[in-house]
Amino acid sequence: MGVVPNPCGFYEIFILINICNVPGYWLAGRLVACGTVEDGYPKSAWARKGIYYLVRISYFDLMKSLEDAEADLISVINERQEVTYSELKSFADSRGIEEEMLKKGLSVLEKAHAIAPRSSGGILTYYILQEKPFLNRIMIVEDDKNINRLMALSIGKGFEITQVYDGAEGLRKIKYEKPDLVVLDLMMPGADGLQICKSIKTDPNLKDTIVIIVSAMDATSNRFKGIKYGADYYIKKPFDPAELRSLVTIFLKKKEGKFDPLIDLPNEQKISAAVESMLKGTDKDYEMGRIRVEGLGGFAAKFGNPSGITILRLVSQMLQDKVKESRSSVFVGFLNGDDFIIGGDKREVGNISASLNSEFDAVLPFIYQGEGYKPIELGIEDTYGAEKPSLAISYSEIRKDSVIERMAEIRRGKEKNDGKEIGAYTYEELRHMLGGGNLDITITRDPGSGVRLSVEKKGDAKRDDKKTGDVDRV
C-alpha cells in the first residue's frame, strides 16, 4: 500500500476509501493512532466530519454485505428446501462469508419468516417457508391461563390465535371454527385432551387439522395414546418456547410437501455424511450403532399398517427426546424401515439406547392394551386367543470394518470406482451397508400424505448382522 498519510479530515478519508481502496477498519485505527481521536472524541470539526463519513461508509458496507449474505443463503435454502447449519457453514466458507455474518443473515431471514430452524436428530436444520395470502388459524386449548398466554407468546406473530381455557368449549370451537392447528393440553375441565384429539382426527371435516399435545402428564402411556389417536407431535412440559414456535411454523408454512417429524429426521444425504465422518474419524470414543424395533413387521401384519406407523412415530419421538435431554452432539437418523441410526460419544450413545429401551419396556403394556389385550395382571386370555406379537428395542454397534466390507460389495455390484462419494448412496444401499439388509417392513415417503408402511413377507430370511460382526444388545 506504500506510505499513506495519517487521515485527519473529511477529504483525506474520502480519497483514501474511494480512490485508494483503503479498508475502513485500518482508517479507524489510524484515526486513533495519529491523535485525531482522543479518549473517544474527535479533536476538530474536520475530524468529526471525517469520522461521520467513515461511520456511514462502514455501516452501508456492512448492510450491503449482510444483504448479499441473505440473498445467497435464501437462494441455497430455497433450492434445497431444507439445509443443515453445517451445510450452510460450508457454503458460506466457499463464498467468503464469515460465520458471524452467516448467523446474522440467518437471524434476519428467520425474523422475516422466510426460514425456520429446527433441531432434529441432533442436527440443526433450516426449512424454507412459503408466503401465504392469509393468516393460519391456531387454537390453544389449555386451562392454565399463564401457560396459555406463554404458548401464545411463544408462537408469536403471523398467526390468528384463539385461546380457550376449557376442554368442552375447545372442542365446540374447533368444530365450528376449523383451525389449521391445535395446541392441546391433556388434563382439563370439560373434556380431556386425548378425547379432543381423537374427536378431531376421526371427524372427516377436521382430520387434517394438525394437533400438537403439550402436557405435564406422565408421557409413558399418554404419548403413545396421543400418537395412536393421531396427534402429530407430543411435547413434554415444561416446554421449550423455541421448540413450540419452530414446530408450529414448520407444520403450517413449510414449502414443498407436508412436514412429518418422522421422515424429517436426517435423510440419506445426512446419514451418508455421518457414515463418512465415522470412517474418516480417529476418535476412539466415537460409536455408531443401529436401533431397531424388533418384531415390528409381525405387529403391523397382525394389527395393520397404521399400528406399525404408530410404533415408529412413538420410538422416533422418544429417541429425539433422549438426544435433546442428553445435551450432547449425538446424531440420529431414520433408515426408512424399522431401523434408526445413532452416532456420537460412546458413553452418550450407550446411555440413550439404554434409556430408550427402558422407557419402551414401560410403555409396552399400554401398546398391547391398545390393541385389545387384557392387562396381564388380570390373568385373562387376550381377546385374540393367540400369543401376542413380541416388540422390543435392540441396539447393534456398527463396526468400521463391517461398513467398509459392505461398501466395497455395493461398489462392485454397481461397478463404481473407489472415488464415489458416500452422499450418492440410496436408503437401500445404506441399510445394507449398515447391516439392515433384510427388512420386514418398508417405509415409503410421500410428500403429500406423509409415510406409508408395507409389510414384506420374506419367509425365513434372516438378517445378516451377525456374520459381519455387529454386536447386538436388547
For the stretch 266-282, what's the b/e string if a residue is b when 16 or more beta carbons lie within 10 angstroms of its beta carbon?
bbbebbbbbbeebeeee
β-strand pairing of 210-215 with 233-236: parallel
Closest CA to 212 of 146, 154, 168: 154
Position 20 scores a pLDDT of 44
CATH fold label, 268-473: Alpha-Beta Plaits (3.30.70)
Residue 91: half-sphere exposure toward Cβ, Cα within 13 Å: 19
pLDDT, tens digit only, all 474 positions of the chain: 444 444 444 444 444 444 444 444 444 544 444 444 444 444 455 455 555 455 444 444 444 455 666 677 778 777 777 888 888 888 888 888 788 888 888 888 888 888 888 887 778 888 888 877 788 999 999 999 999 999 999 998 889 999 999 999 999 999 999 999 999 999 999 899 999 999 999 999 999 999 999 998 888 889 999 999 999 999 999 899 999 999 999 999 887 677 887 767 777 777 777 787 777 777 788 888 899 998 888 888 888 888 888 998 899 999 988 988 888 788 888 877 788 889 889 999 999 999 999 999 999 988 988 887 765 443 444 444 456 678 999 998 888 888 888 877 777 766 555 454 444 577 777 777 877 655 555 666 555 555 665 655 444 334 444 333 444 433
* β-bridge partners, 327: none
Position 462 scores a pLDDT of 40
User: C-alpha cell of 389?
Assistant: 406379537
Instruction: Write the DSSP symbol of residue 163.
Output: E
Residue whose cell numbers read 414448520: 250
Closest CA to 341 of 276, 266, 392, 402: 266
Instruction: Write the DSSP symbol of residue 43.
Output: S
Position 314 scores a pLDDT of 92
CB 114 within 8 A of CB 104: no
Position 18 scores a pLDDT of 43
Position 101 scores a pLDDT of 81
- Cα separation, 292 vs 396, in Å, equals 8
Helix axes 24-33, 45-80, angle to 10 degrees: 150
Could you tell me how many residues make up the chain?
A: 474
Indicate the domain borders of the chain.
10-115, 136-253, 268-473
CB 187 within 8 A of CB 163: no
- Cα separation, 142 vs 90, in Å, equals 43
* β-bridge partners, 454: 442
Task: Spell out the residues 6+ positions from residue 157 whose beta carbon is closer than 8 angstroms to its own.
Answer: none
Amino acid present at 415: E
Instruction: Write the DSSP symbol of residue 373.
Output: P
User: Which CATH code of 3.40.50.2300, 3.30.470.10, 1.20.1250.20, 3.30.565.10 fits the domain covering 136-253?
Assistant: 3.40.50.2300
Position 13 scores a pLDDT of 44
Position 138 scores a pLDDT of 97
- Cα separation, 299 vs 419, in Å, equals 41
For the stretch 174-210, what's the b/e string if a residue is b when 16 or more beta carbons lie within 10 angstroms of its beta carbon?
beeeebbbbbbbbebebbbbbbbbbebbeeeebeebb
Helix axes 305-326, 219-228, angle to 10 degrees: 140
Position 62 scores a pLDDT of 45
User: C-alpha cell of 256?
Assistant: 414443498
